[in-house]
Amino acid sequence: MAAWKTSSSLLLLCVLAIGAVSALPAQHKEHREGKKHGEHMGWMVEKERDVGDFDINYTVSVAEVAFASYCSEKSLEAWSCRQCKAVPYIKYVGVVSDLITSTFGFVAVDLNTKTTYISFRGSINIPNWVTNFEFIKARDWVDAPDAKLHSGFYHAYLKVRDQLKKLLADKVLNGTCPSCTRVVVTGHSLGAALAGICAMDLRVLFGSQLYIELVNFGMPRTGNEAFFRDYPRFVNFTRRVVHQNDIVPHLPPYEIGFRHVTTEVWSQGEGTTNKLKFTVCSATDGEDPNCSDSVPPKDYSVNDHLIYMGVVTTHC
C-alpha cells in the first residue's frame, strides 16, 4: 500500500464510522493445505474465469439490474422502470425488505439464459446511512473464528436473509424456473456490500446447487483479511467495478483491517461506456496498488460514486 494511506486514516474514519466486526463462514484453511476448494463441504467451486474476461455489454446489463433496485416496488412489479426497460427479457419474481434498516432488494429471472438475479438497493435515505454507521456487534453466523464482517452491513443482510431464502426456494427453484441455478448477485454502494455478503451466504444456504456470480458497483470494504482470502471458496466468479475516484470503495479504511475481495475492474473516464477505459486488476490481491488504490485521498470523489457504466445510478 502507498505510504500516504497511513496518514489518511483519520480522514477516512471521519467519513465513515466502522461497526464492530463479526464472525462469518470462512472456517476453511484447506486451500493453504493443498485441498480442493469446497472439498470439506461437499460442493466444488469452479475455477474462476480468466482474469482478462470482462464483458462490457454483460456488465452494463447487470448494472441496469443493480440500479433498478432504486426504483419503486410498483414499477418493479410491472417491470416498467427505466432500467427495467433496458433489460426487458428479465422477469420480476419478488422483493425482500426490512422497514427498520430500510434494507430492500428484489429477485428476477431470465428464462432464456436460466439466470436468477438478486439486486440490493444502496443508500438513499437516512436509515440506510444509519446502517452504514452502526456500531452493533453482530452474533456469529456459523463457526468461523477468523473471518469478520462490518456489523452494520451484516445486520442489514440478516434482516432479509430468511425472506430471500424462501423467495429463491419457493418462487424460483421450486417455481418459476427450477433450472435457473446460475445466480448473479448485484448492487451499488451499500447494496454492493449486501450483495457481497449474500453471494457468500448463498453457498451456505443452497450448497453446490448454484453457480454464484457477484458483479457489483462501488462496493465498500466489507470484511477482514480472512473474509477476502476465503471468498473464492464460496463464490464462483466476482467482478467488483470501481468508477474512477469513487470514495466509497476506500471505506472502511484498510488500516483498521478491512480488505476488498477480488477482482476489481477499474473504470476511468466520463460519459458512455465507449468512452471509458476498463482495467481488470489483480486476481489475487483485492487491494491492487495499480488500480483504484493508487488514487490519493485528496482526489476521492462523491460524484464518481453516483455514475457507473455511464449511467446515473439512482435515476429511475
Is 305 designated active site? yes
Which has the higher per-residue pLDDT, 126 or 132? 132
Catalytically annotated residue among 189, 260, 288, 292: 189
Q: Residues 76-129: pLDDT tens digits?
A: 999 999 999 999 999 999 999 999 988 999 999 999 999 999 999 997 653 444
180 near 116, Cβ under 8 Å?
Answer: yes
Q: How many CA atoms lie within 13 A of 57 on its CB side?
A: 0
Catalytically annotated residue among 110, 246, 288, 293: 246
What are the Cα distances from residue 40, in Å, to 190, 202, 305?
32, 17, 39
Is 189 designated active site? yes
Which has the higher per-residue pLDDT, 146 or 160? 160
d(CA 201, CA 304): 29
Q: Residues 40-77: pLDDT tens digits?
A: 333 334 333 333 568 888 999 999 999 999 999 999 99
d(CA 159, CA 99): 9
d(CA 74, CA 260): 34
Which has the higher per-residue pLDDT, 135 or 144? 144
